[in-house]
Structure formats: C-alpha cells, structure tokens
Structure 1
C-alpha cells in the first residue's frame, strides 16, 4: 500500500487513533483478551491443521492396506479444498449471524467426527468422499477466526494476533509430526488396529474435545466479556468503532460489493500462491524427509519433520511482533515469498542429488518463510474490510486462495508424471514458481492505498 496520504481528514483520523491506542485501559484490555482468547484459537487451528495434513503420514500405508493409488491420494488430498471452498463464505456469514463462540465450536465438533471416520476407510471412493466432507465441515474456521480477531484487536496489533494464531501451524507439525508418527508406531505394535487407523481416530477425537472447550472459553465480543472491566470494554469498543468508520470510507460495503472488489480478488490471488507453497510442501513433507534421510515413515521421520516447524515457530512470532508498519509488512511479505521460492528450488536440487542435510535445511527455510508470510498477507484485506463485507471478503479470499491446496498436489503429481525422475524434483520446482509470483504481487501492493493505513502511524515509527 502506498505511503500515508497527507489530506487533513486522514491526519485527523490518525491523531484520533493515536490517542485511542495510547489508552492504558486499551493496553490492559488487549492483554487480557490475548491471554483469554488466543490459547483456545491456537488449539482449534492446531487440531484443524493436524487433521487436514496427517494424511501425509498414512499415504504409503493406505496404498498397501487399502489400495489407494498415488493419483487417488493426490485427488483426495486436494479435494478437501473443494468442499472447503464451496462452504467457506456461507459458513462465515453464519458465524457473523450466530457468533464465533457457537459456530467455531460447531465446526470443530463436526470436522472431528469426520476426521475420526478416516480410521474406517475401505477404499478409494470412501477416502475421497471423506476428504471432501472434511473440507465441508471445517469450512469457516480459519476465515471466521480472522474476522473474529479483526473485531477484537486494532490494526496496530492485529498482525501480532494473526501471527500468534499462525503458531498453531508450526505447533501442529512440530508436535503433531512426532505424535502422528508415534501413534502409527504404537498402533502397529500394541493394538489390533493398523497404526494409521489409530492415528486418524485419536486425532479426530481431539478435535471434538477442542470444540467442546471452545464453547466454554470463547466470547463473541468485548462487550460480552466478563473478564474485562467497564473501562477496558469502552476502550476496545471506541478504537474498533473508529477503525470501522475509517474502513467504511473507502472499503466495499455489503456482501455483493466485497465479492466483486478488485482488491479482494487481488489478495485472493496472493493467498492462492501462498497456499500452493504451503500445501505442496506440507502434504509431501513426511515422504520427502523419509527420502532425504533414508528411513521409513515413523517416529524418526516424525522427529526430523518437526525441525522445519520448530524454526518456523520463532520466525512467525518475530515477524508478527515487529511488522507494525505498512511498508515493513509489504517489504517483508515480498521478501519471504521470494525466500520461499528459492528454498523450494534448493530442496528439489538437494533431493535429486542425494544431499540430505542441504535438503532438510532448505525445507526448514521454506517453512519458516511461508509461515511468516501468512499473517502479513491477512493484514492487508482486514485493513479495508468491515461488517458483512468482511465476512464475505475474508471468506472469498480464504476459500478460493485455499484452492491452492487442491491444485498443489495434483500439479506436483502431473509434473512428476510428465518429467519422471527418481526424486520427483520437477514437481517440487513447479511449486516454487507460484512463490515467485506471490513475491511480485506482494511488492506491487505499494500501488494500493487505504485510509486505514494511517491508523498504523508514521511509516518509520518502528525503525523502518
């Protein structure tokens, strides 16, 4: 987005925002809200990301035990995002109607039931149907949380909250990778079930429990929060109302306007590029690590697969804490997209040339970079979307952007079949191309402007 314009209205808005943001009651309210809401939201996304990606640990076993071919696996891995995309906007609008507390809990419980049902997969049709239903039932969780956070936290602090929420991804893979591998090993050795069945059932049950807990811990708005005093409620209400008023001056109004907004579609494209890198890497990470270290998928592969996510944890937190200006968000976002693409290319070369250590390092850099890009990407649309337009616009960006998760495994498989190699390097390379496109698009956001940019304060306020 372009530098802050100098018209008197914008300067006045910035001055009012500065006064509101300096309130000690606002600071204490944000602190309380962070400690009350963020752990529950992180747990929800932790289990969601675990349940949508744990299929990578079962890929080989499903082929042996249930005859699920590589093509069917790729279709099943990706079709999740078709169901997700179809029901994303309706789910977000229903969340806006019923409230985050009820709707996020409903989402978690229903997707947990579907996730647990994967333990009973008996062939390709059932596998593909369940992956589709998993997308349908989980639809609305991520954009619902993004919208929920944009109603609780001012723009100045929002990327930090997005980054905290995004920590669920590295946590789910850092802890979830050895958990999934360990459950497979445990199930194979100590239960009458196959290890992959134990993994699916246990991790699905975790989502149901998380949904029940969310109903108790989440609060729909600051005004309903018993953990805030009256001054804190008032401070949060005033700063969020002021930001919404500024957004309405130049953002789309209403559902229809949001769905045809050029800016909304622009950020949908950026998010699509990001998701190609994310899921093209994530779905195949256990198998890629297995190939690099020469071990079958299990406990050891799970531990090594956790390394990239552990590093991404710290990178995501640092970026969220320090990306406090528009210029910094734009520059860092473009840079991290670029690093993601380069690291993906290096990992492909390492895999093709038997360089296991270099391959692990490259994957680690890629994961840290794309995790850091996500919170920054979401800071832009939430700076000009509010109300019903936010429900529709955020839903559209996430639903169509997440189709990158459908395209990535199919594209990777198709490229590998067209240019066959033992390492599948060219399929990995194809993912990097979209990361480079994302870098160009993120850099070009300098040609956009939004009056809400002024609410962040001077561009160089934080050391830019």
Structure 2
C-alpha cells in the first residue's frame, strides 16, 4: 500500500491534469462562439459611426443629434440590463444569449429604414434594449466555467472581439457604403445596416446548438473533468466568502467598494464610447475622407488594441495583480488621447496616439471584470455585475453626446478627447484606492501532502 503522502500527491497530480484538460476543452468549446457573438454585437453597435459619414447629410442631422442618437443606445441598455441578467440566472445563458443575439440583429437590420431624427433615436434606444445584458451576462457565465486565475484572460479573449470587429468592420463598412451606394435605389449606409445585421440573427439560432449553461450539462466533459472543475469553483466561492466577498446584493449596494467599482467602470466606458462612436469622424477630420481608406486607417487602433489587451490580460493573470494593471491601462489611454489631440496636423502621429489610447482603454475591460467578480459572489454577482454595467454605461449615453456638442461648437473633437482623457485619469486614480485583489491560482487549492 502506498504511504498516505504519496497517495495524496498522486491524487493532487491527477486532479491538476484533469483540471488542465477540462479547461482546455471548455476554452475551445465556448470561447470561439462567445468571441464571434461579441464581434457581431460590437459591429452592429458601432457601425453607426461609419454610417454617420453618409447618413447625417441624408437626414439633416447635426453632430449633437448624431451624438445623442449614438449614445441613447446606452439608455436602453441601462433600463434593461439588470432584468436581463436575472433572466439569465433563471433561464440559463443558452436561451438568454440566443434571445439577445436574434433581437439585436433584427433591430440592426431595421436601422436601414431610418427616415427622421426621431426614428433614429427610437431604433437606437431599442437596439440598446435588445443587447442589454450581453456583456454582464457573458462575464457572469464565465464565472460558471473558469476559476479566478483564468478569468482575466478569458474576458480579454471575449473583449478582443472589440478590436477584431473594428479590424473587420471598419474596412467592410467603408466598402459596403461605397460599393453598394444607390444599388437598387438604396443608399450605401442602408445596405451596410442590412448586410451586417443578418449574421447576428443566424448566430442566435447557432447559440441554441452550441452553448450549455454549466459544466454539469456539458456532454463533452468526462465525469471526472466535471468533478474537478465544479470542486475548484466551489472552493473558490467558499474562499471568497471567507475573505469578505459580497454575496448579498443589498450588502453590496451598501458597500463603498461596490460604488468605487461603478465609478471606475463609468470612467472606462466614457473613454470607450466616445472613442469608438467618433473614431471614423476623427480620422476623417485628420484628412482621410475616402470611405474605404478611412475604414482601413480606422482599423489600425483596433489592431493595436487587440494585441495589447491579450498581452496585458495575460500579465495580470500570471502575476495575480489587478489594481496597478488596470490603473496603468487608464493612464496609457489618457496619454494616448492627449498625444493624438496635440498632433492633429500629422496623420501618422495622430493615429499612433489613437492606437496607444485604445490599447489602454480596451485592455482595462478584462482586468476590470476579473477584479469585480473577485469582490462580488453569489447573488451580488448575478445582479451586481449588471447594476455596475448598467449605471456605468450611462457614460456611453453622455460621452458621444458631449463630443457631438463640442464638435458643433468648435468644429473639432480635440477638446472632447481631453475630457475623455481626464475621465480615464480619474478612473485610474480611484482604482488605486481599492483593496488589493488576491487571485487564487491552481497551486493554492490542490491538496497538500500529509
């Protein structure tokens, strides 16, 4: 018979191997689909920025009216975010993500029928309603599958859909608007909304076939793989509760930590919303007026951000450090925006500054959600993540609108970029006020030898 210490070591080694194998399976089974869904989601959300280059003239919209319409998406998001996440908990991620994806695809297609300023506002509002719950729902969904030392990387992989949507969508949108302009009596922006909305509807049906709600339902995991993953997640939840993570939403709402997280995320969304909805116009103001060329130049900051967010998310997971990684991302984003605002007479330098800015902004998302899901557990995670996201996304309503007002008043978005940079700096400084986050690595939870 083996001595107890040798037996314990053998069991620990076997479980570690099973856990690694299970996590590889989970990653390759669910992450590519979630990534695709968010590519389609983000494209359908921000293609309004490319449409602006054509349709504001057709509809007679001012820059302020465009900014209000672009931002009102987030007001719809705000109203329905928490209910959507509660429905996910009740009906499961499979049905919820399928419903969200089909509805926003349909509403994105309907944008082709916009004929007035009021109709523009109404459809953008309902597009936000349809998409409400996707990001916090996926963030919550990932906590059902991945231990804490994997989440920043997984959220970064999911959020990498943002730059990929820009890399693909910017040239594609420019091409569609140019090549199909006046085809069969439709304007280029109308074709763009129709063609880019259809894949989202199809992806909703695909979600029903691909997704499973929890590891326990995954037929492609062995019983032993399910056991080690569920045991690991259970241990982490227990440890988080012992460390003071918030399990009750009421307790979380009374916590200064919860509201600091909300303020931090509000500042980050301010940067991302203003940047993404106005980037094509910023590039046009630099002198890139051709639609196709504008699309390719606009894709450069997205490409840089995609590489940066994966590398920074991996660094945060490996080191187990969250606060400084996030704060430095905010400071990098602010520096890039201030730099681009000061060199508007040079396209290469301005695009370099915009690329640096977007690396900082997008890299912050994965780290933020990994940090927040460490603080929030149980009931607080279900509704709390949605509450944080919905309140913070009001910045997405304000930021594009303010930039539109600035653009109308000054005929430039330079001052608006300075305001966004200021918000990012505030977010970085507030983050350093948060308690240190200790990420629990796999080695910390494997059984010790006797």
TM bin (shorter chain)? over 0.9
Corresponding position of 2:428:
439
| 2:426 counterpart of 1:426 | no
Structure 1 contact 155–455 (Cα < 8 Å) conserved: yes
Correspondence 1:336 to 2:329 = yes
| 1:42 and 2:35 aligned | yes
Partner of 2:262: 268
Structure 2: distance between partners of 1:434 and 1:182 = 34
Write the mapping of 1:105-144 to structure 2, written as runs, cut at 5 A: 105-144=98-137
Deviations 1:33-81 (A, max 9, x none): 0000001101111111111110001113222212222222111111111
Q: 1:320 to 1:176 in 2, by over 3 A?
A: same
Which segments of 5 or more consecutive residues in structure 2 lack a partner in the other structure?
Answer: 1-8, 445-450
| Corresponding residue SS for 2:355 | helix
- Choose from 58, 75, 89 the match for 1:96: 89
Of the three residues 291, 297, 302, the one matched with 1:304 is 297
2:365 to 355, 370, 374: 374
Structure 1 residues 57-456: aligned runs within 5 Å: 57-188=50-181, 190-249=183-242, 250-292=244-286, 294-324=287-317, 328-351=321-344, 354-417=345-408, 420=410, 422-445=411-434, 448-449=435-436, 453-454=439-440
CA contact (8 A) 1:315 1:372 kept: yes
Deviations 1:332-356 (A, max 9, x none): 21111101001101111122xx121
Q: CA deviation at 1:417?
A: 4.9
For 1:178 and 1:85, locate their aligned partners in 2 and report how far apart those are by CA, in whole Å.
30
Deviations 1:80-99 (A, max 9, x none): 11110111011000100000
Deviation at 1:325, TM superposition (A): 5.7
Tell whether the 8 Å contact from 1:182 to 1:298 is kept in structure 2 after alignment.
Answer: yes
2:448 matched to which residue of 1?
none
The offset of 1:368, in angstroms, is 1.2
Residue aligned with 2:337, SS: helix
How far 1:176 sits from its partner (Å)?
Answer: 0.9
When the two structures are superposed, what TM-score results if normalisation uses the length of structure 2? Answer: 0.92
Equivalent pair of 1:287/1:297 in contact (CA under 8 Å): no
How far apart in 2 are the matches of 1:103 and 1:289?
37
Checking the alignment, whether the CA contact within 8 Å between 2:112 and 2:194 is kept in structure 1 is yes
Question: Does the C-alpha gap of structure 1 residues 210 and 259 become closer, same or farther in structure 2, counting only changes over 3 Å?
Answer: farther
State whether residues 259 and 392 of structure 1, in contact with CA within 8 Å, keep that contact through their aligned partners in structure 2.
no
Provide the C-alpha distance between the structure 2 equivalents of 1:439 and 1:384, rounded to a whole number of angstroms: 18
8 Å contact from structure 1 (residues 20, 235) kept in 2? no
- The answer on whether the counterparts of 2:333 and 2:360 sit within 8 Å (CA) in structure 1 is yes
Q: What's the CA shift for 1:136? A: 0.5
Is the Cα–Cα contact under 8 Å of residues 412 and 431 in structure 1 kept in the other structure?
no
**SS of aligned partner of 1:37:** helix
Q: Is the 8 A contact 2:66 2:404 kept in 1?
A: no
User: Normalised by the size of structure 1, how large is the TM-score?
Assistant: 0.89
Secondary structure, in 3 states, of the residue corresponding to 1:328?
Answer: coil
How far 1:408 moved relative to its partner? 0.7
CA distance in 1, matches of 2:389, 2:14: 29
Q: CA contact under 8 A between 1:72 and 1:124: conserved in structure 2?
A: yes
The alignment's C-alpha RMSD in Å is 2.0
Q: Equivalents in 2 of 1:402, 1:423: separation in Å?
A: 25
- Structure 1 stretch 39-48 or stretch 180-189: which is displaced more? 180-189
CA contact (8 A) 1:258 1:390 kept: no
Distance 1:399 1:333 in 2: 20
The 8 Å contact of residues 93 and 388 in structure 1, kept in 2 or not, is answered as: no
How far is 1:174 from its partner?
0.6
For the residues of structure 2 that align with 1:76 and 1:391, how far apart are their CA atoms? 30
